[in-house]
Structure 1
């Protein structure tokens, strides 16, 4: 029993460390886009235009994510989960490390932003399957009544990675401005190599999941898992994509875009804004396992839908609190938005999305649908919010309305979706005639 618990603990930690790296990388990129990339890579533009373009490069990585999800999801369903976890860790971490060495626009001209975009694409391609693979790996090892808890290790890794990134950026932002712009901003990118090393050590010693091993023993591995998933489980795709709108979009707007809003619009120092985000991320780290365990007891849908409804109601009060320019109220607003709204969706999401897909198509379906949602939600969110802020003359109410729309879409998707917390993740879903015909045709071709 002790050996089994130790093995499960290693699984959970290995799952969390990759997500920690992925979101450390993405948060430092998003933060750098908000506070430094407009100066380093787009110096000839007006500050507002430079920030818009910097956030556009942030969004570019999201367009690579579905392709990464499709490519690595296919490998994960046909070859195994653990191999993909090693490859994605190297891609995400390697690209982030190299961004720290990029010359500025002043040194190599237009080649600097081009290289930045290329590395961002590589980062996004690997990230397209990192989180989903880590979640699936943990949930497929979990006891049936604790899948929410085991799945929460990846979201907690996300929170920890974000927290680490915010803390590192808060420290380097204390440097004199010239030092920060020339080399200080690079330090967070260089430090990512530490997480890569730890993650590689853990993942190289992992075994394959019991769910995939059983599928392989039954010779139940499909030739084209994504095609089979689209034909037999279209509802799951729609639910995942819709559920991502609020969790992913608001997950970037509350902690990442708000840094730009606080420092650029409300004249807070960058350090104060980063401290507020750090405290909010601590709230997320604490609350993710709380919401996840609650979803093990009452179901995924009540927790997820409740958090989305909270975001609908809190969007306008959030900006009212920020605009008081009271630091304690700003911290409270961010902590409530992230700890209740984002964490309430992000926590149960891991187990919920895993349970929505059958084992033979789980990696492909989960990764591809999740990353399609990222393109529609998280990728354009900071750019669109900045655009809406400019359009409204600096007033945040159009951005608040945008947040309401994102949350309402997720609320509708989750309410339409099935409850899954008591399902058997080894079982195939009930397939209709079209799905059965597609399976027969695919087996014939194979």
Structure 2
């Protein structure tokens, strides 16, 4: 799987950057990523609680929920296309312009969802427009994460890449806190008010948040590693093509190692929220509040896992994160099946913490699987192929409920499979890591 990547040659010494600048870049990447995930996660929560009732109202409840999750999955299907598009921009034009475009795209698309008319107002046009905006979200996210990780890693010294990459990953739980928190607040409204206008508020908040994130990201300087590649005229002509041609084995490993962080997360949040509220009859507020608590725990696990990866390697951390998650999958769903609010909260929190072990180090691992000239494209493709593969897992798990007579064993089995695949990716990923030449970072 370790095919040589053609076109590499020695580079001139890189410029010296300060530790403060490296930290500023990572924090800017975090802020932008937090907004991206806020926008993206809103759709997942709304797919479970709103869209099935307001945008697919002519279907029976189960079919409406499946259609809602299918629309949710459209965003994942678009992500590899976004990875190719923005990977091309990021590996040829620059990391910075690609990240500016992605943040504007997803912020505008999310805000527009907040003003969409529902099925009762415009009929079939409502779910079509919803699917189009979800497609735009998916394209933007397909380029966002890979670029944010690449920028953070390429500004960091090798021995501190784990923590800088983990800082970007914290954008995920913060995005969850913001999106789940926004929904937790509007769910306090009377049901009629929530359905009429309350659910729109979290989406409309994307507009002011976009302005803040854009202001921060505009100040970010270009990656010194990319600037060096540009000066040496060593940029790839068609980066995605070169990844598929010369680094396909690394791409497979990257995809496997990212499966759990993406698919496992949505299984334990989007699917479980739907399963608890729609199948088990648990109050929606209980399910959303559980994801809030889990997101707080996720932040601490992300920091610890990132630091640990600097000691033992991100591949080894990924491997053990996959093994532990696989072992805990069935017990987690058994706790959820009790319908106890406390047990459900414990299960969701524990599940997110376990999934996060692998997710926290995905940025560091994927970035070191690809050489600098293919990094943006390779990282984005690996992560988003995993996203496209696993984005339909809530839909598949929901469909399996009809086969299993609403029993949770099918969902637990899905979690076991993707966790073990991620463990395989971590094992080989550690062996295939490549090293950039050292970056000089002043204290």
Task: Please state which band the TM-score falls in when normalised by the shorter chain.
Answer: over 0.9
Show the counterpart of 1:366: 379
Q: Partner of 1:49 in structure 2?
A: 63
Check conservation: 2:177, 2:295, Cα contact below 8 A: yes
Moved more, 101-110 or 261-270: 261-270
Corresponding position of 1:282: 296
Tell me how far apart the structure 2 counterparts of residues 116 and 285 of structure 1 sit (CA, whole Å).
31
Partner in structure 2 of residue 324 of structure 1: 338
Structure 2 counterpart of 1:434: none
Q: CA deviation at 1:6?
A: 3.2
Counterparts of residues 71-220 of structure 1 (less than 5 Å): 71-220=85-234
- Displacement, 1:418? 3.4
Q: Is the 8 A contact 1:102 1:112 kept in 2?
A: yes
**Maintained 8 Å contact 1:300/1:420:** no
- Give matches, 1:34-73, under 5 Å: 34-73=48-87
What is the CA deviation profile of residues 33-65 of structure 1, one whole-angstrom value per residue up to 9, with x for unaligned ones? 001101110111111111110000000111111
Distance 1:156 1:215 in 2: 29
Question: Out of 267, 272, 281, which is 2:281 matched to?
Answer: 267
Answer yes or no: is the 8 Å Cα contact 1:305–1:411 preserved in 2: yes
Contact 2:32 2:217 (C-alpha < 8 Å) held by counterparts = no
Give the one of 380, 402, 416 matched to 2:414.
402
CA distance in 2, matches of 1:206, 1:260: 39
In 1, distance between residues paired with 2:33 and 2:266? 16
Q: Name the residue aligned to 2:397.
A: 385
> How many angstroms apart in 2 are the aligned matches of 1:328 and 1:106?
37
For the 8 Å contact 1:166–1:275, the answer to whether it is kept is yes
Aligned to 1:342: 355
The gaps in structure 1 that reach 5 residues or longer are 428-446
Q: Residue 17 in 1 paired to residue 17 in 2?
A: no
Alignment of 1:218-237 (within 5 A): 218-237=232-251
CA distance in 1, matches of 2:204, 2:341: 31
| Matched residue, 1:436 | none
**TM-aligned CA deviation for residue 232 of structure 1:** 2.2
Q: Is the 8 A contact 1:18 1:131 kept in 2?
A: no
Contact 1:299 1:419 in 2 (8 A): no
CA distance in 2, matches of 1:424, 1:413: 18
Equivalent in the alignment of 1:376: 389
Q: Deviations over 1:351-371 (max 9, x none)?
A: 110110000111111112221
- The alignment of Structure 1 onto Structure 2 pairs a total of residues equal to 422
TM-score, normalising length: structure 1:
0.92
Q: Which shows bigger deviation, 411-420 or 176-185? A: 411-420
Corresponding position of 2:435: 424
Which one is further off, 299-308 or 81-90?
299-308
> Which residue is equivalent to 2:269?
255
Any conservation in 1 of the 2:50–2:199 contact (CA below 8 Å)? yes
Q: Distance in 1 between matches of 2:94 and 2:436?
A: 17
Equivalent residue of 2:256, what SS? helix
Match of 1:351 in 2: 364
Contact persistence 1:132–1:367 (CA under 8 A) = yes
CA offsets, 1:261-309, max 9 Å, x none?
1111222111111111110111111110110110011111221111100
CA contact under 8 A between 2:111 and 2:205: conserved in structure 1?
yes
CA positional deviation for 1:426: 4.3
Question: For the residues of structure 2 that align with 1:245 and 1:206, how far apart are their CA atoms?
Answer: 30
Q: CA offset at residue 185 of structure 1?
A: 0.4
Deviations 1:368-417 (A, max 9, x none): 2221111111x111101100112211100111111111111111222233
User: SS of the residue aligned with 1:44?
Assistant: coil
User: Is the contact between residue 257 and residue 429 of structure 2 (CA under 8 Å) also seen in structure 1?
Assistant: no
Q: CA deviation at 1:324?
A: 2.0
What secondary structure sits across from 2:222 in the alignment? coil
- Whether the aligned pair in 2 keeps the contact of 1:211 and 1:426 (CA below 8 Å) is no
CA contact (8 A) 1:74 1:226 kept: yes
Residue 257 (structure 2) aligns with: 243
Q: Distance in 1 between matches of 2:276 and 2:208?
A: 31
Kindly indicate whether the alpha-carbon contact (under 8 Å) linking 1:259 and 1:274 is maintained by their aligned counterparts in 2: yes
CA contact (8 A) 2:31 2:171 kept: yes
Provide the residue aligned with 1:431 in structure 2: none
Shift of 1:230: 2.2
Q: What's the CA shift for 1:326?
A: 2.2
